A and B are shown apart, each in its own frame.
Chain A
């Protein structure tokens, strides 16, 4: 079994152990969503600081999704890679999308009424961050926080 996981580490990086999804359409959905994320993070034994970072990141992304994408779908997954366990969150909306992702990832950039540290700040809080967007089709953001990351 040992040899097997080692071999798979290089080919398939992440395995999904458990998943759950939640629809976010209004501001009041945010608190239950945060609680759900917390539940999963607690279940895999994530420490308090990393939990707080993850939930704060989730909170930022959900707000973006509500504000710019008019709400959307969220996916909560328990994933593992090698000996590490973690939580993967995916936020997808069918909003207008982001024309210039590079710009949006710069500290201090904003199109809305905010501080402009949303995306880069969020990236600093998590272990892995991936954003895909097509103008007119929507935006998908994926983050992973490893239990000890």
Chain B
């Protein structure tokens, strides 16, 4: 492409701030958009509190008496860490729906036309989702305690388990962020996120011991990263050694976060649509 003279800019306004501080500020500005809106959206709040409570009670009382798991006298101690894990991973789907909404309503276009740090839109979103998930998790933990769940190990172990849960859910928020910026509609985002989250969380050790599954399904369930995370969390809450599961789960969480954060950010900032 032959370029003759490039016209010179007429100076209007100042330079565009670049660098780490501004990127962080942009992330926070975007996160605060969602955090500020959170208490105003009764449906989201209801979903974030009622559903987890319902899950805990339903699973505990419906399955509680019927299932025996080797190694656990009390099924609740086995089951509830699985429900915690499933609920926070379900909570990660908000990102897909929210980002699809931003895209279809033209908000994404507006943001992409601003002189801001582009990935801040996604980082802010995932951070706000993390905060909401913390809230959900605390509510769920309180209900679990009310029906008899206890930390059998150290408090530090329980804290580590809780952090692992939230970190693991955060990683999946990025998978959903990629879905949200890729699909064309809110409905599609909703089904696209649940279509893999259901098998991911059920073909796992969350509710039953994988050894009770058909032989072709068992290895899948056993190697499912969700199983690995659930096992690590369950061991920590019950004061048992998590073994390699702990580090494997952390590695999965970090790996998924890095890969999907890069993919989603690229997709969002690319000038291709």
Same complex for A and B? Answer: no
Residues on A facing B (Cβ under 8 Å): none
